């Protein structure tokens, strides 16, 4: 209840800040929407000019891609900003304040990281999923939602790791940049890439769980052993995120502000 | 001479951040890899020799060159103009013994001096060795360089024009992001324009943006004529006039706030 109060208060502050620059907010969302429709646009052109992407009909691809935008959008809306905001706070000495507040740092950072600029991305993702034209079956839908949850948890764990990097190394712009470029691999199905890439995006940096495996689960293409492995990977990645964050908090040395 | 000194100083200053440049060199092959895997699977799946007139090799080469031309023509001055206006640094730039436009141009040249050895050359080498991109003849390479140079100047002038809007809007980074994404799409950065349906393609052809990327790549393939050269020069002239016009008004606007 207290957590919800903190979250709502921060949401209110963020709303005020965002609305101070309304045109900027509108343009920002427009630019995100335009960049988000690039990959579906290329996919549509591929289906227009060729038999298509192997193993995927256009509808299936759109469900996959809508999921991708939705999960990245949700992460960007709720918790991904905590990484770069923490980097900034550590640099100017504001991070110390978070450590002395009567709320756990991980919870504080999670609840106060909303970025309203990403709302358009969340809505666009949902729209693409709903308009993809795939038929929703209750069992497949529940499997899809389960893996969607896994994808969100993976992104949350990644946010914790990036935040930890910001606490430990301060100047982490380059690490963020690498993650965004690696994130481009999530824009197309993992099945297109060679085995080392598939391994990397399943076991090392499980971006496959962001959209590929949820879509595969939706179409009933996952075997039970794979399902269990993926759930285990999600749990381990989350645990790793928490452990790394705890380690970073213990190793934190103030900037002296 | 002073102008080239500025370009060299910018290049050596930027070299202080060596890790950034290692990244600049590592990331393009990753971006190419995404499109490489996508198109290889599409060609194989359809048993296709050509898509919209492109063989698989041509298609991969297109994406490699898209990164190369992108690196050669990339301009990041809009954010700098925004920051200069807010912080007041713009006044310093206005009092230098060269115009603000010239200052930004030679600063941009400084970054390009680094982009060539650190992005362009490694990307081309990896493109040829790792992704099987296609080599071209020496005259085509010269044409590619010429059209890339024109694209660089044109993109610079467009960025300077959009950057000037910061004199009125103050915050322009969202607008700049929108502009970059739109230019990327309209210039053929995402796909060769031949993939578009005829009607849409005709619209893209009417706009100047294809000269920023698509036309230099076509020059590499030896598929450009004198008309492309003349039209691209015409667009450069047009963007130059836009830049002059908007900056004249911007100066007045700036003085109008009491500087």
- Least confident span in A117-126, A152-161, A227-236, B53-62: A117-126
DSSP state at residue A186: G
In whole angstroms, what is the distance from residue B150 CA to residue B144 CA? 10
Task: Quote the minimal CA–CA distance from A99 to chain B in Å.
Answer: 31
Give the residue-averaged pLDDT of A151-166.
Answer: 95
- The average confidence (pLDDT) of chain B is 89
pTM summary value: 0.88
Domain ranges of chain B: 2-256
CA torsion sign for B20, A172, A193, A219 is negative
pLDDT, residue B233, reads 96
Question: Can you name the residues that pair with B50 across neighbouring β-strands?
Answer: B55
Question: Can you name the residues that pair with B51 across neighbouring β-strands?
Answer: B54
Contacts of B94 (CB under 8 A, 6+ apart): B100, B251, B254
**Residue in A46, A178, A188 nearest the CB of B23:** A178
* pLDDT for residue B16 is more than 70: no
What's the pLDDT tens digit per position in B235-259?
A: 999 999 999 999 999 888 776 555 5
Contacts of A35 in chain B (CB under 8 A): 177, 181
Alpha helices in B15-74 (DSSP H): 18-46, 56-73
pLDDT, residue B258, reads 53
pLDDT, residue A118, reads 86
pLDDT, residue B255, reads 65
Beta-carbon count within 10 A of B57 CB? 13
Of residues B234 and A25, more confidently modeled? B234
CB-based contact A42 B23, cutoff 8 Å: no
Chain A interface with B: residues with Cβ < 8 Å: 21, 23-25, 27-28, 30-31, 34-35, 38, 41-42, 45-46, 48-54, 174, 177-178, 181-182, 184-185, 187-188, 192-194, 197
Phi then psi for A52, rounded to 5 degrees?
Answer: 115, -165
- Least confident span in B56-65, B105-114, B122-131, B145-154: B105-114
- Least confident span in A74-88, A121-135, A141-155, A243-257: A243-257
Confidence of residue A243 (pLDDT cuts 50, 70, 90): very high
pLDDT, residue B92, reads 83
* pLDDT for residue B151 is more than 90: yes
Confidence of residue B15 (pLDDT cuts 50, 70, 90): low
Q: Is A135 left (phi over 0), alpha (psi -120 to 50) or beta?
A: beta
What's the pLDDT tens digit per position in A27-67?
A: 888 888 898 899 899 999 999 999 999 999 999 999 999 99
CB-based contact A178 B33, cutoff 8 Å: no
Domain ranges of chain A: 2-251
Percent over 70 (pLDDT), chain B? 90
**Residue in B41, B184, B196 nearest the CB of A45:** B196
Beta strand B50-51 with B54-55: parallel, antiparallel or unpaired?
antiparallel
Most distant CA pair in chain A, distance: 61
Percent over 90 (pLDDT), chain B? 61
pLDDT, residue A64, reads 96
Confidence of residue A208 (pLDDT cuts 50, 70, 90): very high
Nearest to A114 by CA among A77, A69, A66: A77
CB-based contact B185 A34, cutoff 8 Å: yes
Phi then psi for B51, rounded to 5 degrees?
Answer: -125, 120
CB A237 within 8 A of CB A206: yes
State which of A100-109, A128-137, A225-234 shows the largest mean pLDDT. A225-234
pLDDT, residue A92, reads 84
pLDDT, residue A43, reads 93
CB B67 within 8 A of CB B123: yes
- Least confident span in A223-232, B76-85, B124-133: B76-85
Beta-carbon count within 10 A of A126 CB? 16
H/E stretch holding B258: none
Nearest to B60 by CA among B213, B254, B217, B227: B217
What's the pLDDT tens digit per position in A131-151?
A: 998 888 888 899 999 999 999
What are the start-end ranges of the E strands in A204-252? none
Confidence of residue B19 (pLDDT cuts 50, 70, 90): low
Give the residue-averaged pLDDT of B142-171.
Answer: 93
* pLDDT for residue B188 is more than 80: yes
Most distant CA pair in chain B, distance: 67
> Nearest chain B Cα to A176, which residue?
B23
Cα dist. A145→A139, A140, A212, A234, B19 in Å? 10, 9, 13, 14, 40
């Amino acid at each position: 209840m207290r957590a919800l109060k903190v979250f709502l208060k921060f949401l209110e502050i963020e709303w005020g800040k965002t609305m101070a620059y309304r045109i900027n907010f509108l343009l920002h969302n427009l630019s995100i929407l335009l960049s988000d429709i690039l990959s579906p646009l290329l996919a549509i052109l591929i289906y227009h000019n060729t038999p298509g992407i192997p193993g995927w009909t256009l509808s299936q691809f759109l469900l996959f891609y809508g999921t991708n935008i939705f999960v990245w959008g949700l992460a960007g809306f709720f918790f991904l900003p905590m990484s770069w905001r923490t980097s900034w706070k550590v640099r100017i000495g504001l991070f110390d304040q978070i450590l002395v507040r009567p709320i756990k740092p991980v919870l504080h950072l999670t609840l106060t990281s909303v970025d309203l600029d990403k709302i358009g991305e969340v809505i666009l993702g949902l729209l693409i999923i709903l308009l993809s034209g795939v038929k929703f079956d209750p069992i497949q839908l529940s499997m899809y939602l389960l893996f969607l949850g896994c994808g969100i948890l993976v992104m949350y764990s990644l946010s914790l790791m990036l935040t930890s990097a910001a606490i430990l190394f301060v100047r982490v712009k380059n690490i963020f940049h690498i993650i965004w470029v690696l994130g481009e691999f999530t824009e197309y199905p993992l099945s297109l890439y060679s085995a080392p890439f598939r391994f990397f995006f399943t076991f090392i940096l499980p971006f496959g769980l962001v959209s590929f495996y949820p879509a595969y689960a939706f179409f009933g293409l996952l075997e039970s052993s794979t399902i269990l492995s993926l759930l285990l990977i999600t749990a381990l990645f989350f645990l790793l995120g928490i452990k790394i964050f705890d380690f970073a908090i213990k190793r934190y040395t103030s900037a002296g502000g | 001479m002073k102008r080239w000194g500025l370009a060299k100083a910018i290049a050596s200053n930027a070299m202080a951040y060596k890790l950034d440049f290692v990244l600049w060199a590592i990331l393009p092959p990753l971006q190419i890899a995404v499109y490489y895997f996508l198109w290889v699977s599409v060609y194989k799946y359809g048993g296709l020799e050509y898509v919209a007139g492109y063989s698989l090799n041509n298609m991969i080469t297109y994406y490699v060159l898209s990164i190369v031309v992108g690196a050669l023509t990339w301009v990041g001055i809009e954010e700098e103009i925004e920051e200069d206006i807010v912080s007041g640094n713009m006044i310093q730039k206005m009092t230098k013994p060269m115009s603000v436009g010239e200052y930004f141009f030679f600063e941009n040249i400084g970054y390009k001096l680094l982009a060539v050895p650190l992005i362009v050359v490694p990307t081309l080498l990896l493109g040829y060795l790792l992704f099987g991109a296609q080599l071209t003849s020496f005259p085509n390479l010269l044409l590619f360089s010429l059209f890339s140079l024109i694209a660089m100047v044109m993109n610079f002038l467009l960025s300077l024009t959009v950057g000037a809007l910061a004199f009125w809007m103050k915050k322009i980074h969202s607008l700049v992001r929108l502009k970059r994404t739109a230019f990327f799409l309209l210039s053929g950065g995402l796909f060769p324009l031949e993939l578009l349906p005829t009607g849409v393609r005709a619209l893209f052809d009417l706009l100047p943006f294809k000269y920023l990327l698509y036309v230099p790549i076509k020059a590499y393939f030896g598929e450009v004529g004198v008309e492309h050269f003349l039209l691209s020069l015409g667009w450069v002239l047009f963007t130059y006039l836009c830049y002059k016009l908007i900056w004249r008004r911007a100066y007045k606007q700036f003085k109008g706030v009491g500087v």
